[in-house]
Structure 1
Amino acid sequence: MRILRQSPTSHLVVACGSSGARLSAELGSGGHAVSYVAAGLVSLESVRSDATEIRDRLDSGELPPLRGFVGNAGMQYTNGLTETPDSLESTFAVNVLANHLFVRPLQDRFTAPARIVITASDTRFGDFRHNLGMVPGPVWHSPDVLARTGAFTGRTPRPPGAPRTRRANWPPSVSCTSTRAARPAGIDAVAYNPGFVPGTDLARNAD
């Protein structure tokens, strides 16, 4: 709503799940140009397919030049054992890999000046002020470890707090993802931290 309000001539492409069709209709009701792409971020094949669809529509001229990307999807499985169809840990796959795989096929389609914005999190600080003690501080693990369920090197398969530590580790990874994706000149990369966001159902799988 804010994007369309500030830039009413923009063509907004909403890429999300089944609610996207209704959302697109609502956003376009005021005469704005709004399109919908049914995006599934749990499957990496689906992410690539959705990004390719947008790229093809850009190339055909159906969509105007690409000047922005906002990656706002996020999920949290606190057991650290929930797998995607690709046998990856679901929280990391959606919050980090999906963003990267969505932007990568589009990175040479951005028309400068452009901006990539990826939602990050206060959990990267690891202190009470920022996460109310609900998530432990991040402890570095390489992405290939974070991408596997129950795979914290040198620890038991389900160490206390490990899933939440995994949760704390993805915001820095998101920042790296957006920065790497923005290497072409004239493209800004921003990791946006919205702060504490109750009411989003993000912690519905928490204890």
Structure 2
Amino acid sequence: MTGASRGIGRVAAEHILRRSPDVHLLVVARGSSGAQLAAELGAGGHTVSHVPADLGSLADVSSAAGKVRVRPDRGDLPPLRGFVGNAGMQYTNALTEGPDGFEATFAVNVLANHLFVRLFQDRFITPARIGVTVSDTHSGDFTHNMGMVPGPVWKSPGVLARTGVFTKRDTAVGGRTAYSTSKLAAIHLVHEYARPLPTGIDAVAYNPGFVPGTASPVTQGPSHGSRCAASCR
């Protein structure tokens, strides 16, 4: 699971452990924060481990996925039955580059999820579920985002992965446009996952609704309740 350190991700992680006390939850977190997060979530006897990764770096994501892939073979991790891509980021501009030269919003919200799923794909055992957190901001109208976030501006993924794509790119408007567009791209990813995945592996895009006051670093959509934006298979 990514994005389990705070906000809706922290609540989701606690909910997973409460509903499935026998689960082994592995969290991906930046630097040394993963050890503290695993200890906090593991309080009360839950099994929680961690692997470090900067989700803005595809090399870090690839390294983290590689470490997870071999652990079931060593016997210190059960077979993989799920992936929760909850981590999300919004910047105050659309010009911020990650370590690989990709626009940082797209790198975290889209590319990291994509790489994790592709590297885990042959390691899942059924039944399994892939969940990616999306947002009503992808709808682009006042009803869904209350005018707080500009609607997405769709272009090919190869273009969206680069900086300077949107108008007002050096302002918060550009950053929010990058965010809403990345959430639309995440929904496209989920539909794409559903095509090649074997029967028994579900791909779900989860929309948590509007979540102010949760210490979440991103804006998450409108205030009309939680619902699933897309469910494939």
TM-score, normalised by the number of residues in structure 1:
0.89
Which of 182, 187, 198 in structure 2 is aligned with 1:170?
182
Aligned length in residues: 202
Secondary structure (helix, strand or coil) at the match of 2:122 reads: coil
Distance in 1 (CA, whole Å) between partners of 2:174 and 2:28 is 31
Give the drift of 1:158. Answer: 5.6
Counterpart secondary structure, 2:118? helix
Q: Does 1:8 align with 2:21?
A: yes
User: Partners of 1:156 and 1:28 in 2: how far apart?
Assistant: 44
Q: Say which is worse superposed, 100-109 or 125-134, in terms of deviation.
A: 125-134
1:48 pairs with 40, 62, 67, which one?
Answer: 62
Kindly indicate whether the alpha-carbon contact (under 8 Å) linking 2:93 and 2:169 is maintained by their aligned counterparts in 1: no
Give ranges in structure 1 of 5+ residues lacking alignment.
Answer: none
CA distance in 2, matches of 1:190, 1:68: 11
Q: 1:63 to 1:201 in 2, by over 3 A?
A: closer
Confirm or deny: 8 A CA contact 1:77 1:91 kept in the other structure.
yes
TM-score, normalised to structure 2, is 0.80
Structure 1 residue identity aligned to 2:119: P
2:191 and 2:151 map into 1 onto residues whose CA distance is 22
Match of 1:142 among 156, 161, 169: 156
Task: Establish whether residue 19 from structure 1 lines up as the match of residue 33 from structure 2.
Answer: yes
**Pair 41,115 (structure 1): closer, same or farther in 2 beyond 3 Å:** same
Instruction: Tell me, yes or no, if the aligned pair for 2:92 and 2:171 is still in contact at 8 Å.
Output: no
Distance in 2 separating the partners of 1:168 and 1:133: 12
Cα 1:113/1:158, change in 2 over 3 Å = same
Q: Which of 191, 197, 202 in structure 1 is aligned with 2:217? A: 202
1:105-160: CA deviation from partner (whole Å, max 9, x where unpaired): 111111111101000011011122321211122222111111110035xx786699
Instruction: Indicate the percent of aligned positions where both proteins have the same amino acid.
Output: 61
- What's the counterpart of residue 126 of structure 2? 112
Partner of 1:68: 82
Q: Quick check: 1:108–1:184 contact (8 Å CA) kept in 2?
A: no
Inter-CA distance 157–167: structure 2 relative to 1 (3 Å threshold): closer
Q: Which runs of 5+ in 2 are unaligned?
A: 1-13, 220-233
Q: CA deviation at 1:59?
A: 2.5
Q: In the aligned structure 2, how far is the partner of 1:201 from the partner of 1:11?
A: 24
* Separation of aligned partners in 2, 1:63 and 1:30: 19
- Alignment match, 1:87: 101
Q: Matches of 1:156 and 1:81 in 2, distance apart?
A: 10
Q: How does 1:183-198 map to 2 (within 5 A)?
A: 183-198=197-212
- Quick one: distance in 2 between partners of 1:203 and 1:9? 31
CA shift in 2, pair 1:84/1:8, >3 Å = same
Query: Over aligned residue pairs, what C-alpha RMSD do you find?
Result: 2.1
Paired with 2:160 and 2:200, the residues of 1 have a C-alpha distance of 31
Amino acid aligned to 2:75: G
